[in-house]
Structure 1
């Protein structure tokens, strides 16, 4: 055998051996790239109209109303161990986000009607206590809700803590608007932590069952796994044991393959029917 022919044959053999691995790697890269392109090309939840739809969906579950802008004044203790729940996405006195909100409001408008409650909010953080708050705080919250600066503060904190992180993670996972909403609704209820019943833990549990589109997985399969994990987390708390916001809302949209969350939308939460027509 001539040396040059032997060299050529060895080179060809190396190419053939390497080819399957290269093709497999290329396939995974292509799948991830495709998921990214799909997510980028579709209108995301951060589009103004889609975001309004998301807020209406959350409000239907949190406040039994589509009028989410009427919820700036909302405040009550729902008995879930988190103290007061209030505002457009349920800021809680026991979990720190209400404290952050009032601090942000005070940064924007020093001397506002809620600023005097900052010491009390710091003390009750991590508990269900109303000490230093009570009826006076509830009345002052309603007064503050008429202030556009307080409304802006609520919007800012919603975006900083919940909306923007949820949508960013969903886009990175290759999910379209429905998946982005599923992440957002989960982070609103369960918080942005990493334990088993927080958003991070729910996502981790889902990823053990199915690949995200960015990993080359099927979008519907992954979202079903995520919603299953979300339901399991909800059932660990009596206050969240009704899983209709998953079963008769998000799962309805998923079964219809409405990945872009396009109206018309029809769903039920806690047995009540809702619709967004446009």
Structure 2
């Protein structure tokens, strides 16, 4: 899910190309990119986005949630109005030209930047559900999630000296606000937070910096009607921070929108 401030595909692609490490810098997973911690990250995001820990059941998800971003669908809420759903379907079609969603590419281009359903509607919803039953579209969602959100977030967080919890906090912010640089996107939130507290890479306190980042993000969320409920910060991420669980080690207990979630050891 991306804000309109992060909707320009070119800006997103450029940022992703800067933040994603190339083969020469690839390293053994040590934080959120560890398979067990990545699984936790997917569950945490799914609890906030889909009210369940069963994130693998969300490939078929698609609806208009009334937030001004058109259709929201898939694992992390790709949106028809913010460009990332268009990018997903475009990349999926490059690998699988004969797919149910390919014919909707012209309509997705036209509605980008709006909440319009023009050219989409029920036929698009049915096509999404058919595509999501295939391994090809599921792999495309995984790959796009990692390319645009997960890998850039983890890489940027590691460069800022953040451990696993901080890497997740960056990832969740990118999922909701987009990886752009304007004030409502991840880049803008990080920029303001860095003015309030030094990152660990700059010699600052990790706890103090993450608290500042969450403060800034909370303010941004509350400026949008669709994101006024900040429980994914208040009773989840901030709880882990208060517990000083910077390694995001289970067991984990948190609440989102009043619902309780738990991951055992």
Residue 235 of structure 2: aligned partner: 248
Instruction: Name the counterpart of 1:269.
Output: 256
Q: Partner residue of 1:91? A: 78
User: How far apart, CA to CA, are the structure 2 residues paired with 1:74 and 1:216?
Assistant: 43
Structure 2 residue ranges without an equivalent (≥5): 1-26
1:224-235 matches, within 5 Å, as 224-235=211-222
* CA distance in structure 2 between the aligned counterparts of 1:138 and 1:53, rounded to whole angstroms: 29
Q: CA deviation at 1:42?
A: 9.0
Q: Distance in 2 between matches of 1:53 and 1:143?
A: 28
Q: 1:197 corresponds to which residue?
A: 184
Which 4+ stretches in 1 moved above 4 angstroms? Answer: none
CA offset digits 1:150-191 (Å, max 9, x no partner): 000001100111001111000000000000000000000000
Which residues of 2 match residues 27-176 of structure 1 at below 5 A? 43-176=30-163
Q: Which residue, 221, 245, 250 being the options, matches 1:258?
A: 245
Q: Any idea what the Cα deviations from partners look like across 1:110-148, whole Å, max 9, x if unmatched? A: 110100000100010011000000011111111111100
State the superposition RMSD in angstroms. 1.2
SS at match of 1:228: helix
Local SS of the residue matching 1:129: coil
More helix by percentage:
1
CA–CA distance in 2 between the matches of 1:230 and 1:151? 30
Residue in 1 that maps onto 2:171: 184
1:211 aligns to 2:184 (yes or no): no
Q: Give the gaps of 5 or more residues in structure 1.
A: 1-39
**CA drift at 1:43:** 3.2
Residues 135, 222 of structure 1: CA spacing in aligned structure 2 closer, same or farther, 3 A cutoff?
same
Structure 1 length normalisation: TM-score?
Answer: 0.85
Q: Could you tell me whether the CA contact under 8 Å between 1:268 and 1:274 is conserved in 2?
A: yes
Alignment coverage as a number of residue pairs: 239
TM-score by length of 2: 0.89
Aligned partners of 1:170 and 1:122: how far apart in 2?
32
Give, in whole Å, the separation in 2 of the partners of 1:179 and 1:58: 14
Determine which structure has greater relative contact order: mean sequence separation of CA pairs < 8 Å that are 6+ residues apart, divided by chain length: 2
1:222 equivalenced with 2:202 (yes/no): no
| SS of equivalent residue, structure 1 residue 262 | coil
